[in-house]
Protein backbone atom coordinates (compact mmCIF):
# COMPACT_ATOMS: atom_id res chain seq x y z
CA UNK A 1 0.00 0.00 0.00
CA UNK A 2 1.52 3.31 -1.14
CA UNK A 3 1.35 5.80 1.71
CA UNK A 4 4.55 7.82 1.26
CA UNK A 5 3.05 10.93 -0.25
CA UNK A 6 0.02 10.97 1.96
CA UNK A 7 -0.27 12.85 5.24
CA UNK A 8 -2.32 10.29 7.15
CA UNK A 9 -2.73 12.50 10.23
CA UNK A 10 -4.05 15.35 8.15
CA UNK A 11 -6.49 13.06 6.36
CA UNK A 12 -7.77 11.63 9.65
CA UNK A 13 -8.49 15.23 10.73
CA UNK A 14 -10.30 15.85 7.43
CA UNK A 15 -12.45 12.76 8.08
CA UNK A 16 -13.25 13.90 11.63
CA UNK A 17 -14.18 17.41 10.53
CA UNK A 18 -16.24 16.40 7.51
CA UNK A 19 -19.90 15.95 8.47
CA UNK A 20 -21.33 12.54 7.73
CA UNK A 21 -23.16 12.07 4.45
CA UNK A 22 -26.88 12.69 4.78
CA UNK A 23 -27.77 9.02 5.25
CA UNK A 24 -30.96 7.52 3.85
CA UNK A 25 -33.46 5.90 6.20
CA UNK A 26 -32.32 2.45 5.01
CA UNK A 27 -28.69 3.23 5.87
CA UNK A 28 -29.66 4.67 9.27
CA UNK A 29 -31.60 1.51 10.11
CA UNK A 30 -28.66 -0.60 8.96
CA UNK A 31 -26.12 1.25 11.14
CA UNK A 32 -28.51 1.27 14.09
CA UNK A 33 -28.98 -2.50 13.82
CA UNK A 34 -25.22 -2.98 13.69
CA UNK A 35 -24.85 -0.87 16.86
CA UNK A 36 -27.58 -2.90 18.55
CA UNK A 37 -25.57 -6.06 17.94
CA UNK A 38 -22.08 -4.70 18.69
CA UNK A 39 -22.80 -1.91 21.20
CA UNK A 40 -22.26 1.82 20.61
CA UNK A 41 -18.58 1.93 21.53
CA UNK A 42 -16.07 1.39 18.72
CA UNK A 43 -14.06 -1.74 19.45
CA UNK A 44 -11.79 -4.03 17.45
CA UNK A 45 -14.57 -6.65 17.46
CA UNK A 46 -16.99 -4.15 15.99
CA UNK A 47 -14.58 -3.16 13.22
CA UNK A 48 -14.04 -6.85 12.47
CA UNK A 49 -17.77 -7.22 11.89
CA UNK A 50 -17.76 -4.08 9.69
CA UNK A 51 -14.96 -5.62 7.60
CA UNK A 52 -16.71 -8.99 7.32
CA UNK A 53 -19.74 -7.18 5.88
CA UNK A 54 -17.77 -4.61 3.85
CA UNK A 55 -16.55 -7.01 1.17
CA UNK A 56 -20.03 -8.43 0.43
CA UNK A 57 -21.34 -5.75 -1.99
CA UNK A 58 -18.10 -5.92 -3.95
CA UNK A 59 -18.46 -9.68 -4.26
CA UNK A 60 -22.07 -9.27 -5.44
CA UNK A 61 -21.05 -6.74 -8.06
CA UNK A 62 -18.16 -8.83 -9.29
CA UNK A 63 -20.48 -11.82 -9.82
CA UNK A 64 -23.15 -9.60 -11.42
CA UNK A 65 -20.71 -7.93 -13.81
CA UNK A 66 -19.15 -11.23 -14.81
CA UNK A 67 -22.59 -12.63 -15.64
CA UNK A 68 -23.45 -9.58 -17.73
CA UNK A 69 -20.07 -9.65 -19.49
CA UNK A 70 -20.65 -13.28 -20.39
CA UNK A 71 -24.09 -12.57 -21.80
CA UNK A 72 -22.89 -9.56 -23.81
CA UNK A 73 -19.37 -10.70 -24.70
CA UNK A 74 -19.77 -9.44 -28.28
CA UNK A 75 -20.29 -5.84 -27.20
CA UNK A 76 -16.74 -4.52 -26.62
CA UNK A 77 -17.84 -1.17 -25.20
CA UNK A 78 -20.03 -2.88 -22.66
CA UNK A 79 -17.30 -5.36 -21.75
CA UNK A 80 -14.78 -2.54 -21.21
CA UNK A 81 -17.12 -0.59 -18.96
CA UNK A 82 -18.32 -3.60 -17.01
CA UNK A 83 -14.79 -4.97 -16.79
CA UNK A 84 -13.68 -1.82 -14.96
CA UNK A 85 -16.40 -2.20 -12.34
CA UNK A 86 -15.53 -5.87 -11.97
CA UNK A 87 -11.82 -5.18 -11.53
CA UNK A 88 -12.43 -2.48 -8.98
CA UNK A 89 -14.87 -4.73 -7.11
CA UNK A 90 -12.15 -7.37 -6.87
CA UNK A 91 -9.60 -4.85 -5.70
CA UNK A 92 -11.89 -3.37 -3.06
CA UNK A 93 -12.91 -6.83 -1.87
CA UNK A 94 -9.25 -7.82 -1.40
CA UNK A 95 -8.58 -4.57 0.39
CA UNK A 96 -11.46 -5.15 2.85
CA UNK A 97 -10.10 -8.64 3.45
CA UNK A 98 -6.72 -7.12 4.34
CA UNK A 99 -8.45 -4.88 6.86
CA UNK A 100 -10.00 -7.92 8.48
CA UNK A 101 -6.65 -9.71 8.76
CA UNK A 102 -4.88 -6.62 10.11
CA UNK A 103 -7.54 -6.13 12.81
CA UNK A 104 -7.19 -9.79 13.71
CA UNK A 105 -3.43 -9.25 14.18
CA UNK A 106 -4.11 -6.34 16.53
CA UNK A 107 -6.52 -8.42 18.58
CA UNK A 108 -3.95 -11.23 18.81
CA UNK A 109 -1.27 -8.77 19.88
CA UNK A 110 -3.51 -7.24 22.56
CA UNK A 111 -4.81 -10.63 23.69
CA UNK A 112 -8.42 -9.68 22.94
CA UNK A 113 -10.92 -12.47 22.32
CA UNK A 114 -13.67 -12.29 19.72
CA UNK A 115 -16.95 -10.93 21.15
CA UNK A 116 -20.08 -13.13 21.09
CA UNK A 117 -21.31 -11.76 17.77
CA UNK A 118 -18.23 -13.07 15.95
CA UNK A 119 -18.98 -16.68 16.76
CA UNK A 120 -19.93 -18.49 13.55
CA UNK A 121 -23.71 -18.49 13.60
CA UNK A 122 -24.16 -14.71 13.99
CA UNK A 123 -21.80 -13.67 11.16
CA UNK A 124 -23.35 -16.43 9.02
CA UNK A 125 -26.84 -14.97 9.49
CA UNK A 126 -25.67 -11.37 8.99
CA UNK A 127 -23.57 -12.23 5.94
CA UNK A 128 -26.44 -14.20 4.38
CA UNK A 129 -28.89 -11.35 4.93
CA UNK A 130 -26.50 -8.70 3.63
CA UNK A 131 -25.59 -10.85 0.60
CA UNK A 132 -29.25 -11.20 -0.26
CA UNK A 133 -29.83 -7.50 0.22
CA UNK A 134 -26.85 -6.39 -1.92
CA UNK A 135 -27.73 -8.82 -4.72
CA UNK A 136 -31.33 -7.71 -4.72
CA UNK A 137 -30.31 -4.04 -4.72
CA UNK A 138 -27.85 -4.62 -7.57
CA UNK A 139 -30.58 -6.40 -9.52
CA UNK A 140 -33.27 -3.79 -8.93
CA UNK A 141 -31.25 -0.58 -9.04
CA UNK A 142 -27.48 -0.71 -9.35
CA UNK A 143 -27.08 3.04 -8.84
CA UNK A 144 -28.89 2.79 -5.52
CA UNK A 145 -26.64 -0.15 -4.65
CA UNK A 146 -23.55 1.99 -5.30
CA UNK A 147 -25.03 4.83 -3.27
CA UNK A 148 -25.87 2.52 -0.36
CA UNK A 149 -22.28 1.36 -0.41
CA UNK A 150 -21.07 4.98 -0.42
CA UNK A 151 -23.13 5.46 2.74
CA UNK A 152 -21.60 2.32 4.27
CA UNK A 153 -18.07 3.53 3.42
CA UNK A 154 -18.72 7.06 4.71
CA UNK A 155 -19.80 5.48 7.98
CA UNK A 156 -16.70 3.24 8.04
CA UNK A 157 -14.32 6.14 7.33
CA UNK A 158 -15.76 8.11 10.25
CA UNK A 159 -15.63 5.07 12.54
CA UNK A 160 -11.88 4.62 11.93
CA UNK A 161 -11.05 8.33 12.30
CA UNK A 162 -12.82 8.33 15.67
CA UNK A 163 -11.29 4.98 16.65
CA UNK A 164 -7.76 6.40 16.29
CA UNK A 165 -8.78 9.48 18.29
CA UNK A 166 -10.15 7.24 21.06
CA UNK A 167 -6.89 5.26 21.24
CA UNK A 168 -4.00 7.71 21.68
CA UNK A 169 -1.79 4.85 22.97
CA UNK A 170 -1.56 3.55 19.39
CA UNK A 171 0.65 6.54 18.51
CA UNK A 172 3.50 4.87 20.45
CA UNK A 173 2.80 1.27 19.52
CA UNK A 174 5.19 0.11 16.78
CA UNK A 175 4.11 -2.29 14.05
CA UNK A 176 6.07 -5.52 14.42
CA UNK A 177 3.92 -7.94 12.47
CA UNK A 178 5.18 -8.85 8.98
CA UNK A 179 1.63 -9.40 7.84
CA UNK A 180 0.60 -5.89 8.86
CA UNK A 181 3.71 -4.48 7.20
CA UNK A 182 2.67 -6.19 3.99
CA UNK A 183 -0.59 -4.29 4.20
CA UNK A 184 0.94 -0.86 4.91
CA UNK A 185 4.50 0.31 5.33
CA UNK A 186 3.89 2.54 8.35
CA UNK A 187 5.51 2.72 11.77
CA UNK A 188 2.69 2.86 14.31
CA UNK A 189 -0.66 1.21 14.88
CA UNK A 190 -2.25 4.65 14.81
CA UNK A 191 -1.11 5.02 11.20
CA UNK A 192 -2.28 1.51 10.32
CA UNK A 193 -5.81 2.44 11.37
CA UNK A 194 -5.55 5.83 9.69
CA UNK A 195 -4.58 4.02 6.48
CA UNK A 196 -7.60 1.73 6.82
CA UNK A 197 -9.82 4.80 7.26
CA UNK A 198 -8.37 6.36 4.11
CA UNK A 199 -8.99 3.13 2.17
CA UNK A 200 -12.63 3.49 3.19
CA UNK A 201 -12.58 7.00 1.75
CA UNK A 202 -11.25 5.60 -1.54
CA UNK A 203 -14.11 3.08 -1.53
CA UNK A 204 -16.54 5.91 -0.79
CA UNK A 205 -15.19 7.98 -3.66
CA UNK A 206 -15.35 5.13 -6.17
CA UNK A 207 -18.91 4.37 -5.09
CA UNK A 208 -19.94 8.02 -5.55
CA UNK A 209 -18.46 8.08 -9.05
CA UNK A 210 -20.27 4.86 -9.98
CA UNK A 211 -23.63 6.06 -8.69
CA UNK A 212 -23.34 9.24 -10.74
CA UNK A 213 -22.49 11.64 -7.91
CA UNK A 214 -18.86 12.58 -8.62
CA UNK A 215 -19.42 15.98 -7.00
CA UNK A 216 -19.37 14.19 -3.63
CA UNK A 217 -15.85 12.79 -4.08
CA UNK A 218 -13.59 13.80 -1.18
CA UNK A 219 -10.36 14.77 -2.93
CA UNK A 220 -6.95 14.68 -1.23
CA UNK A 221 -3.25 14.85 -2.09
CA UNK A 222 -2.07 11.42 -3.23
CA UNK A 223 -5.57 10.17 -4.09
CA UNK A 224 -5.45 7.27 -6.60
CA UNK A 225 -5.93 8.58 -10.13
CA UNK A 226 -8.27 5.71 -10.96
CA UNK A 227 -11.01 7.36 -8.90
CA UNK A 228 -11.85 10.16 -11.35
Distance, first Cα to last Cα, the chain: 19
Q: Which residues contact 57 (CB under 8 A, 6 or more apart)?
A: 134, 138, 145, 148, 149, 152
- Indicate if the alpha-carbon torsion angle 193, 196, 202, 206 is positive or negative: negative
Q: Where are the alpha helices (DSSP H) in the chain?
A: 8-17, 25-38, 44-71, 76-110, 121-140, 142-166, 178-183, 189-210
Q: 156 or 175, CB closer to Fe ion?
A: 156
Stretch that binds Fe ion, among 16-24, 46-54, 83-91, 182-190 (CB under 5 A): 46-54
Closest to Fe ion by CB, 106 vs 203, is 203
- Tell me how far, at minimum, the Cβ of 96 lies from Fe ion, in Å: 4
Please choose, from the candidates 190, 1, 25, the residue with its C-alpha nearest in 3D space to the C-alpha of residue 94: 1
Q: Which stretch binds Fe ion (CB under 5 A): 9-17, 115-123, 148-156, 182-190?
A: 148-156
Helix, strand, or coil here: 228? coil
Binding flag, residue 200, Fe ion (CB under 5 A): yes
Distance of closest approach, residue 110 Cβ to Fe ion, in angstroms: 19
* Piece of 20-28, 72-80, 170-178, 192-200 that binds Fe ion (CB under 5 A): 192-200
Contact status: 54 vs Fe ion (CB under 5 A): yes
Distance (Å, rounded) from C-alpha 228 to C-alpha 209?
7
Contact 183, 166 (CB under 8 A): no
In the bound complex, what is the minimum distance in angstroms from residue 65's beta carbon to Fe ion? Answer: 18
Is there binding between residue 99 and Fe ion (CB under 5 A)? yes
- Is 135 near Fe ion (CB under 5 A)? no
Closer residue to Fe ion (CB): 58 or 69: 58
Q: Measured between alpha carbons, how far is 218 from 224 in angstroms, rounded to an integer?
A: 12
- Residue 171 beta carbon to Fe ion: minimum distance, rounded to whole angstroms: 21
Q: Of 13-21, 124-132, 166-174, 202-210, which part binds Fe ion (CB under 5 A)?
A: 202-210
CA distances from 59 to 10, 78, 120, 141 (A): 31, 20, 20, 16
- Nearest CB to Fe ion, comparing residues 96 and 105: 96
Residue 195 binds to Fe ion (criterion: CB under 5 A):
no
Binders of Fe ion: how many residues, by CB under 5 A? 7
The three-class DSSP label of residue 174 is strand
- For residue 48, state whether it binds Fe ion (rule: CB under 5 A): no
Nearer to Fe ion (CB atom), residue 80 or residue 87 = 87
Question: Where do contacts with Fe ion occur on this chain (CB under 5 A)?
Answer: 51, 54, 96, 99, 153, 200, 203
Amino acid sequence: METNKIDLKKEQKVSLERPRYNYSLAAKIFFFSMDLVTGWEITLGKTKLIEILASIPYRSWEIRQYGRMTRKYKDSNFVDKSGKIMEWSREAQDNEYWHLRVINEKMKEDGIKDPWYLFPLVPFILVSLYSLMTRLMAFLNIRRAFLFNAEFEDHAEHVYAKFVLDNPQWEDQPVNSDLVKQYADVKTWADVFRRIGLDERDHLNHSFVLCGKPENVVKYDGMPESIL
